[in-house]
Amino acid sequence: GRCRLLCKPSALAQHLVRSLGRSAALRGGRWLWPCWPQLQMLWQLLQLPEPEPVVARELLQLPDAGLVALDWLVGPWGAAGGGGWISSPRGFIPVIFNRRGHNGCPLTTPRLQPFGDPGDLREAVTYLRCRHPSASLLAVSEGSGSGLLLAYLGESGSSSRLAAAACLSPIFRARDWFEAGMPWLYEWPLLLHLKQGLSRYAGALAEVVDMDKLLGSRSLRELEETLFCRTRSRPTSWESYWERNEPLRDADEAAVPVLCLCSADDPVRGPPAQSLPRELFRSSPYFFLLLTPHGGHCGFPRRGPGRCWAHEAVLEYFKAIAEFLRTEERRKGLPRPR
- 283-316 pLDDT, tens digit each: 999 999 999 988 888 888 776 655 788 999 999 9
- Average pLDDT (310-329) is 92
Give catalytic status of residue 102 as yes or no.
Answer: no
- pLDDT, residue 49, reads 57
pLDDT category at 164 given cuts 50, 70, 90 is very high
pLDDT computed for residue 78 by the predictor: 43
Whole-angstrom CA distances from 218 to 166, 190, 247, 321, 328 are 32, 11, 24, 44, 53
* Topology adopted by domain 1-23+52-75+87-173+251-332: Rossmann fold (3.40.50)
Annotation says 252 is catalytic: no
Give residue limits of the domains in the chain: 1-23+52-75+87-173+251-332, 185-245
What pTM, to 2 d.p., does this model score?
0.90
pLDDT at residue 31 greater than cutoff 60: no
pLDDT, tens only, 250-262: 999 999 999 999 9
In this prediction, residue 184 has a pLDDT band, given cuts at 50, 70 and 90, of confident
- Is the model's pLDDT at 263 over the cut of 50? yes
Catalytic residue among 71, 117, 294, 297: 297
Q: Which of the residues 117, 265, 266, 294 is marked catalytic?
A: 266
Indicate if the alpha-carbon torsion angle 151, 157, 161, 167 is positive or negative. positive
Q: What is the average pLDDT score of the chain?
A: 88
* Residues 22 and 30 sit within 8 Å (Cβ to Cβ): no
